[in-house]
């Protein structure tokens, strides 16, 4: 479906996501394809995936990368803090983040974006990188736009 070099910027990525998810109605499929698309598009990342809210905590969802932590309490680590503060967390050095949960020892920086569906916290988009300070303000803006498109499709699937 996608060829190397076809997706060159976040606008193209977000258009591709919207087209990829259009006409589909399964939330797990949406998350699986979104994580695959990001893993394909982004350079210098070692984990791309989702945690969804279940029983008041984050539960591992579809991802690309090494096996990961299965549950994360709200308020703990970068993912749990993103949920409790309801804001994007762009962390240049995860080892300097108090309470960081190290699922992959090779991860050095991280961005986590909360997902809200139908007014409720649905989960988070979590991306790790094996280099410090990997994620820029441009990455944050582009990935937040990606998350909004994903939320739109999830709201139709949930």
Cα–Cα distance between 95 and 78 in angstroms, integer?
11
Domain presence at residue 39: yes
Decide if pLDDT at 99 tops 50: yes
Q: How far is CA 49 from CA 10, 90, 96, 120, in A?
A: 17, 15, 22, 19
Query: If pLDDT is split at 50, 70 and 90, which confidence band does 49 have?
Result: very high
Written as one string, the DSSP assignment of 73-103 is ETTSHHHHHHHHHTS-EEES-GGGSTT---S
Decide if pLDDT at 118 tops 90: yes
Domain CATH for 118: 3.30.450.40
CA triple 92-14-128, angle to 5 deg? 25
Cα–Cα distance between 76 and 65 in angstroms, integer?
21
Domain presence at residue 2: no
Decide if pLDDT at 7 tops 70: no
List residues bridging with 158 in a β-sheet: none
Domain presence at residue 90: yes
Query: If pLDDT is split at 50, 70 and 90, which confidence band does 102 have?
Result: confident
Give residues with Cβ within 8 angstroms of 121, minimum separation 6. Answer: 53, 83, 86, 114, 115
Domain presence at residue 133: yes
Domain presence at residue 114: yes
Domain presence at residue 146: yes
Domain presence at residue 47: yes
Give residues with Cβ within 8 angstroms of 78, minimum separation 6. Answer: 89, 91, 94, 97, 100, 101, 110, 112, 126
The pTM score is: 0.93
For residue 49, the enclosing domain spans: 10-155
Domain presence at residue 17: yes
Domain count of the chain? 1
């Amino acid at each position: 479906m996608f060829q190397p070099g076809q997706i060159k910027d976040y606008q193209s990525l977000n258009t591709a996501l919207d087209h990829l998810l259009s006409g589909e109605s399964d939330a797990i499929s949406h998350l699986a394809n979104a994580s695959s698309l990001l893993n394909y598009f982004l350079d210098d990342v070692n984990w791309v995936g989702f945690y969804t809210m279940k029983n008041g905590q984050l539960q591992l969802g579809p991802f690309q990368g090494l096996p990961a932590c299965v549950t994360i309490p709200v308020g703990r680590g970068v993912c749990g803090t993103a949920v409790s503060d309801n804001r994007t967390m762009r962390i240049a050095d995860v080892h300097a983040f108090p309470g960081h949960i190290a699922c992959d020892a090779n991860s050095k920086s991280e961005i986590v974006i909360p997902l809200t569906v139908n007014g409720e916290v649905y989960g988070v988009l979590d991306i790790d990188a094996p280099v410090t300070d990997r994620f820029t303000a441009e990455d944050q803006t582009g990935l937040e736009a990606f998350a909004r498109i994903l939320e739109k499709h999830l709201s139709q699937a949930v």
